[in-house]
A and B are shown apart, each in its own frame.
Chain A
Amino acid sequence: MRRYFGRKIVVYLSTFFLAVTIDWAIPRFMPGNPILNLLTRVAGRPETVQHMYNYYSRIFGLDIPVWKQYINFWIALFHGDLGTSVLMFPQKVTAIIMRAVPYDIFLLVPAILLSFYAGNKFGAFAARTKWLDNTVLPLGYMLTATPYMWLGILLAWSLGIVAGIFPIAGAYGFNLQPSLSWVFILSLLEHWFLPFVSLFLVYFGGWAIGMRNMIIYELEADYSHYLEALGAPRSLVRKYAYRNAILPQITGLALQLGVVVAGALVTEVVFSYPGIGYWILQAIQNQDYFLIQGCFLFIIIMVLIANFIIDIVYVIVDPRTRLGMVGGSA
C-alpha cells in the first residue's frame, strides 16, 4: 500500500513540476508584450514612454533575465504569491482567483458529480431495454455532441428571454448585495440553474452512452451468463455487471475533470458567470502572464488532486487493485 502511494506521489510531484514549468513558459512565448497593453492609451510623449515602460517592467519583475524570472516565480509560488495581474492591475492574482473559485466549485462540482451518477445509473438502466434504447440513446448522442455554448445560448434564449423564467446573466440578482438571506440564496440558485443545466445535460449524455455500451459488454461476459444460468434475478446480474462496468467510467471521470474547465469556460462566457473560465479568456486575450499562470496553475492543482482522489477511489471500488498491491509487496 505504502509503496503504491509512494510511487504515485513521486509521479504526481514530477508532473506538477513539469506542468508548472510549461505553464510559466507558454505565456512568455506568446507574441506580444503585456507591458505595452498596460501602457496603451496613456497620452505620454515619446520621450517619456520608455521611462514609463521601464517603470512598469520593474513593478512586474520583467526587467531581469528570463532564468531569474523563472527562479523568482518558484520562490514566490512557495510563498503563495502568484504575482500582480496586468489586466487587473494592481490587483493580486491570488485575490482574483480566490474570488472566482467559489463560483466554479458551486457550478462544476454538482454538474460533474450529478451527471456522473445520473448518467451511469441511467445508462445501465437503459441498456437492453428496447424502447429506452431506441428513444433515449439517440438523444444521448445528440446531447454529448452538443457544443456547450450552443446549448447554453439555446437555454438562455428559450428559458431566459422567451419564457422569462430564469435570469440570463450574473451569479446573483443585479439588485442584490451578498448577504445570508433567503432572497439572496434563492437568487443565487436561480442564476446557477441555467449554466448548471447546460453543463449537466452535455455530461449526462456522455456518461449514459458510455455506461450503456459498457453494460452490454459486461452482460455478454461469461460470469453474467453463468449467473443467469444459475437462475439469479435480473437485478443481481446487473449489479455485478455495473460494478465491473463502472471502472473505465471512473478513469473517464478523471480525464473529464481536466477537460471540464474548458467546458465551463464557454458556459461562463455565455451566462456571464464570474468563474475562472471567464478570467482565462480575458487573461489570454490581454497577455496577462501572471493571471494566465495563476488560472492554469489552479487547474493543474485541481486535476492532480482529482486524479489522486480517483486513485484512492479505485483501490476501494476495485478489489483487484488491492490484491495487486498485496502481491506486489509480498
Chain B
Amino acid sequence: MTATAAPAEPVEPAKPAEAPATDLVCKGLVRWHLIMAMFFMVTAMTWGFLVSFQFLGVSPFEGIEWLSFGRLRLLHTNEIAYGFLVNGFVGCMYYAVPRMTGKPVASAKLGWLILGVWQLILVLMSVGQLLGYAQGVEWGETPTGFAPGTWNMNYVPVDFLIELGAVLVAVQFLTPIVKSIHRHQYVSLWYLSAGIIWLILTYVMGNTLPEWTLPGSSGAATAGLFIHDLVGLFVTPMGWGLMYFFVPIILRKPIWSHALSVIGFWALAFFYPLNGVHHFLLSSIPMSVQYGAIISTMAVEIVVTTVVVNFFGTMWGRGDALRTNLPIRWFYTGMVCYFITCLQCMFHTTLAMQEIIHFTDWVPGHAHLVMLGVFAFWILGMTTWLWPRMVGSEWHNRRLNHWHYWLTVIGLLIMFIDLTAAGLIHGFMLDALSPWMEIVRAMHGFWAIRTFAGGMILLGQILFAWNLWKTWTGPKKPYDYRVDLAVAADAGGE
C-alpha cells in the first residue's frame, strides 16, 4: 500500500456524473440485505472454520449433539447458499434493477416483508438443521416440511417458505422489468429475470422429486441436476447479470461486446442444465446420460469463455483500475478464479480424472474456488463499491478493505492449492489400495493448512463486516464519488 498521488477516476462528462442514487433505489433495502449477507457470510465461515478443527482431531463442541460436526457443516454450506449469496444478490439487485429499467421495484413494503421473511427462513432452516431435520439432498438440506409422523421440526415447512420467498422476489423484480419491456433490455435484465424464474423451478424440482418420488439412481440424477441447476441457473446468471451491470458502471465505459453477452446467455440456458449428472459419474446412472453430461460440461467452458473474454475486453486499456480501484480488483480476481475453475471443470469431468479425484478434497477445493473465489468475490466487489453510496459516508477505514482483500485472496489461494494437492494424493492413494488410515494420516497436514487458510479468510470477512457496520453507524464523512477506494486517496487523506 504505497502512497502515490492523484485520484484515479477520470470524470467523463458525457455520462451523467455519478450521484448518490435517487429515490429510484430504496437504499435501506440494499443496506439491510448486504448487512445480512455479510452476517451470514461471517457465521457460515465461522462454522466452516470450527468444523475444520475436527479434521485435526479436535472436536470444537465435544459431546453436544446439535453443535456436532455434521450439523455445523450443513450450516456452513446452506448459510452460504441461502444466506450470503441470496441476500447479496437481492441486495445488489435492489440497486441494479431500478437503475436499468428506470422503474422502482414493485413495492418497498414488499421489500421489507421479503427481507424479514427471508431472514426468518434462514433462522428456521438453521434451527431445523441443528436439530437434525436435514433433508438428504446435497445443497437442499433445508427441512422438508409436511413430513408424516409425530410432531417435529419437519412440520415447519422451510422448503415451502423458501419457495414462497423466491416467488415474492420474482414479483418484486419482474414488475419493473415487465413494465419496461418496451425499452431496450440490457442483457443483465435477461440474466436476472431468468435466474429468478429458474430458481423457483429448480428448487421445486430438487426438493420434491428425490425426496418423495425418485429413489436410487434416478433420484441421484435429479439431485445432480438440482445441485448443478442451483449453481448454473441461479448463482451463475445472477452473478453474470450483476457483473455485466456493475463493471461498465464502475469503469465508466460500455461493455466490450453486447452480442457476445447475449450469445453467452443462450448458451448458458442451453448447456448448463444438461450438466447435472456429472456429479455422479461412473455410477449406475445410464452411461449415455453420463456421456451427455460430460460433453455439455465441456461445452459450458466455451460459454464461460464469452464472459471471460467480454470482461477482459472491457478491461482493455484500463489496467490502471486494478491498482487504484478495489471493486474492480475484486471483479478481476474473481474472473481469473472463474477461468481457472471452469478450465479445471472441463478436465476433471472426464472419466479418467473422475476415477482419481471424485470423493476427494479436490472437490471442496473446486467448490471453494467457484463459490468464494468467483461469486462471493463479485458480491464483495459490489458491496465495496455500493456501501459508501448506500450509507452516504466515507469508509470508516479504507485500509481494512485492503486487509480484507488480501487476507481473503491469499487465504483462498492457499486453500485451493492445498485442497487440490490433497485431493490428488487422496485419490492416488485410494487407487493404489493404501490402507484407509494411511490415507487419513497423509491428509492431516493438508487439513491443518486448510484450517489456517480458512482462518485467514474468516478474519478478512470479520474485518470487512466490522468496517461496514462502523461506516454505517459511525460519524458520517463526506465521500468523494470520483474516487473509488484509491490507495492514493487513502494515503492522501491521512
A and B from one assembly?
Answer: no
Q: Which residues of A contact B (CB under 8 A)?
A: none
